[in-house]
Homo-oligomer: A and B are copies of this chain.
Amino acid sequence: VVINQAGPAAAQAVQAAGLGVQLLDAESEAPWAVAAQGDVLLTGPRNGWLKPPTARPAGWPGRLRWVHVTSAGVDYYPPWLWDVPQVSCSRGVAAVPIAEYVLAALLDHAKTWTSLRVHSPQQWRATFDRATHSPLALLQGQTLAWRRTPAASATAPQPPSRAPADAVQWVDSLEALLAQSDHLVLALPLTAQTHQVLNAQTLQHARPGLHLVNIARGALLDQTALLQALDDGRIARATLDVTDPEPLPEGHPLYHHPRVVLTPHLSWSAANAPALTAQKFADNLGRYVRGEALHDLVRGHGSY
């Protein structure tokens, strides 16, 4: 029995997979209230996990053997979620829209895109002269820092067995990464190890002019240290799709800093997101039914 809290797209994908499982629709109930009724739970942040009980409720884990969450990150969930044998996440379903968001951010910064528009002959001439005498930057040849492991999994980070693409380099430390990058994209989960991984100390190593892009979680950054580095000019731009908290309180300096592009946690947004999420679960459910190892297992709240 599969308890489905992810709506009709997930039900459709499971039925289309022809796995012979029984589906129980429980979208509007608390996960711990229905845990006794199924072997597998498909759930997500909005199914009661944004304000869950601090202590493990009596009904948890019921007869659950496996929980799959519709989110990529698992920092929403309380530690007692992991009292079930297996927990897996929806890593990668937003990879394409997030990659496109990041590319837009990189080009916007490199090309000074939003400053290129003109509305009069005077602006036309002044902006043309600027681009002639101070050429626009090229993304070509710039260094982008992207992720910690080439194929992220529940295992510890380790170098890949095969050589990565020609233009990809391994870097030994966060400090070296900061020192070499023109653009640094935070695309890592929020865990005990990554909380405020960018802070006053680590940001000292940033290459002057760094463009920082955060599409993961706001708490990966010490926002006070970030503001200092932006004011110093060491960080030339921060494109922040996430902040801590969300939204920031009225009047927070990140809302109006001239070197900040702030967007409201939407880099994942794409019309095909529900279908991709549903398909990812159905594929994993097939593995579960056949007794194979599940993909995208997550070891715990603080040890991704």
Check A271 for interface membership: any CB of B closer than 8 A.
Answer: yes
Q: Known contacts A104-B113, A264-B131; decide if A118 and B269 are in contact (CB<8 Å).
A: no
Q: Known contacts A121-B248, A247-B121; decide if A266 and B127 are in contact (CB<8 Å).
A: yes
Interface centre among A140, A266, A272 (most CB of B within 10 A): A266
Contacts of A82-130 to chain B: CB distance below 8 A: 96-97, 100-101, 103-104, 107-108, 110-111, 113-114, 116-121, 123-125, 127-128
Tell me the complex Cα distance, A88–B123, Å.
33
Q: Which of A166-174, A207-215, A254-262 contacts B (4 or more CB under 8 A)?
A: A254-262
Q: A138 contacts B271, CB within 8 Å?
A: yes
Tell me the complex Cα distance, A121–B132, Å.
39
Q: A96 contacts B140, CB within 8 Å?
A: yes
Check A249 for interface membership: any CB of B closer than 8 A.
Answer: yes
Q: A124 contacts B246, CB within 8 Å?
A: yes
A116-156 CB contact bits vs B (8 Å, 1 = yes)?
Answer: 11111101110110011001111110000000000000000
Looking across the interface, which residue of chain B has its beta carbon closest to that of A113? B104
Q: B120 contacts A255, CB within 8 Å?
A: yes
Q: Give the residues in chain B near A255, CB-CB below 8 Å.
A: 118-120
How many copies of this chain?
Answer: 2
Q: Give the residues in chain B near A250, CB-CB below 8 Å.
A: 120-121
Contacts of A58-81 to chain B: CB distance below 8 A: none
Q: A110 contacts B114, CB within 8 Å?
A: no
Q: B139 contacts A100, CB within 8 Å?
A: yes
Check A30 for interface membership: any CB of B closer than 8 A.
Answer: no
The distance from the CB of A265 to the nearest CB of chain B, in whole angstroms, is 6
Tell me the complex Cα distance, A140–B246, Å.
29
Check A270 for interface membership: any CB of B closer than 8 A.
Answer: yes
A interface residue count range (under 10 / 10 to 19 / 20 to 34 / 35 or more) = 35 or more
Tell me the complex Cα distance, A116–B114, Å.
12
Check A263 for interface membership: any CB of B closer than 8 A.
Answer: yes
Q: Known contacts A100-B107, A135-B273; decide if A119 and B262 are in contact (CB<8 Å).
A: yes
Tell me the complex Cα distance, A37–B78, Å.
83
Looking across the interface, which residue of chain B has its beta carbon closest to that of A274? B135
Looking across the interface, which residue of chain B has its beta carbon closest to that of A102? B107
The distance from the CB of A210 to the nearest CB of chain B, in whole angstroms, is 19
The distance from the CB of A125 to the nearest CB of chain B, in whole angstroms, is 7
Looking across the interface, which residue of chain B has its beta carbon closest to that of A273? B135
Q: A125 contacts B264, CB within 8 Å?
A: yes
Select one of B124, B262, B263 contacting A247, CB under 8 A. B124
Q: What are 12 pairs between A and B in contact, CB < 8 Å? A: A100-B139, A101-B111, A104-B113, A114-B114, A116-B264, A116-B266, A117-B263, A118-B264, A123-B264, A127-B264, A135-B271, A135-B273
Known: A114-B114, A119-B256. 5 other contacts (CB 8 A): A96-B138, A108-B108, A108-B113, A120-B255, A127-B263
